[in-house]
Amino acid sequence: MVHKRKSNSLSTVSANPVGGDASSPTTRRAKAAGRSITVKDIAAEVGVSITTVSNVLLGKEGTYSPETGEKVKECARRLGYRRNNLARSLVRQRSQTLGVLLEERFNFSHPENQYFVGVLQGFLQEAARRRYQVKIVMQANPPSDEIISAVDDASIDGLAAVVLSPDNALFGWFDHARLPVVLVGCETRSPKASSVDVDDYESLGELIEQAWSLGHRRFALVTGENEHGALSERERAFSAHVGGRRLDGGAPLVLRCDMEGHKADEILRELAKLSAAKRPTILVCANDLIAVSIVRQASAHGLRVPEDFSVTGFDGFAVGDWCTPRLATVRQPLSRIGAKAAEILIESLENPGAAPIQHAVLPGRLLLRESLAAPSGASA
């Protein structure tokens, strides 16, 4: 894993358009009083209730006629109305801000961390669509008092924690948190937190079924050496989906590598010693970085992909497009995962009595590419 990048940053949703008509009596009165245009001013100008103006400006369709909506919006533009989020937050006792917690060990420029960029994109888009701001907090482990204060100082209404380490000390705090929490891609669960993740088990099962239909009967799993939550689940899925089949040459191999594939050379050296009759016809890699490392280094050991064995990955990162042959893999719906996390938080805030703890599991998408082919001599 790559480290560093420690910062707190804030992404905001833009307010209503600016502009204004200095000649308007309403505008002149507001300026004379030293204040901004308010919902009350617009209501008086248009001749409707304050509630109607609020409904129009908040986009609550169905509570007003189209004609009234256009009049209110035109008046707001003409007078230069700006929504006062601070005042609105004080009235509602909410900050209209969602928090995203990331561990500082992640570096957004690293290929593996396309996961976080994709998830954040979906989260930010859904938050902006629902008129929420987003506060991003980078956390050291163990967390300092400042970090706990940053997520428990009433500056956010809900928190999404993205791929926290199983030993993260905040898991104990989540169990008693005053605000709703959604765990994204986390192995550890909390009885008081919702969660969103990809369906590792079924997605890998679909990939193995596809390989079986092509005629593969000698499987090997290449996975990480550490106890990463996602990789552990993918190893469990591999054992379940391959273990019950009639394989050639006995039980499938399980080969250990580092998460980023730096030890792919050692694995390939051992595979090159095996005869074609004993070598696995497919290497099912637990992530794309391991798979791409094997594809790129295979030729140095006199091995060809997919002629000597097929290689598959899991994640759907861009690195799979950059190797030759292109990597067959399972693509995670990263933007949808992020959007779902924001949706769960917002639902729990806006409908507190009707939004129980949710555990959303989203399907991956199989990408069939050139690194997966029928094994030599297969009749399928």
Q: What percent of the chain has pLDDT over 70?
A: 83
For residue 377, tell me if it sits in a domain: no
Residue written as tokens 């967390």? 143
Does residue 328 share a domain with residue 207?
Answer: yes
58: domain CATH number? 1.10.260.40
**Per-residue pLDDT reduced to its tens digit, 310-365:** 999 999 998 899 899 999 999 999 999 999 999 999 999 988 777 688 999 999 99
Helix intervals (H) in 214-287: 229-243, 264-273
207: domain CATH number is: 3.40.50.2300
Distance, in Å, from the CA atom of 362 to the CA atom of 339, rounded to the nearest integer, reads 12
Structural domain for 145, as ranges:
8-12+93-198+335-363
* Residue 278 to residues 210, 222, 251, 255, 265, Cα–Cα distance (Å): 21, 17, 12, 15, 19
Q: Which of 47-51, 116-120, 257-261, 308-312 has the highest mean pLDDT?
A: 308-312
- Residue 102 token pair: 């990331």
Is the domain of 192 the same as that of 211?
no
Using CA atoms, how far residue 156 sits from 16, 79, 111, 153, in Å, is: 22, 31, 30, 8
Its pTM stands at 0.74
Most confident of 7-21, 90-104, 225-239: 225-239
Residue with the two structure tokens 């707190």:
8
| Same domain assignment for residues 289 and 186 | no
- pLDDT interval class at 151 (50, 70, 90): confident
pLDDT at position 355, please? 67
- What's the pLDDT score for residue 111? 60
Q: Are residues 253 and 318 in the same domain?
A: yes
* Cα dihedral: 34, 39, 42, 43 (round 10): -130
Rg of the chain over all Cα atoms, to the nearest angstrom: 27
Looking up tokens 């919902």 gives 39
Question: Quick check: 15 pLDDT over 60?
Answer: no
120-156: b or e for each residue (b if 16 or more CB lie within 10 Å)?
Answer: bebbbebbbebebbbbbbbbeeebeeebeebbeeeeb
- Give φ, ψ of 223 to 5 degrees: -135, 175
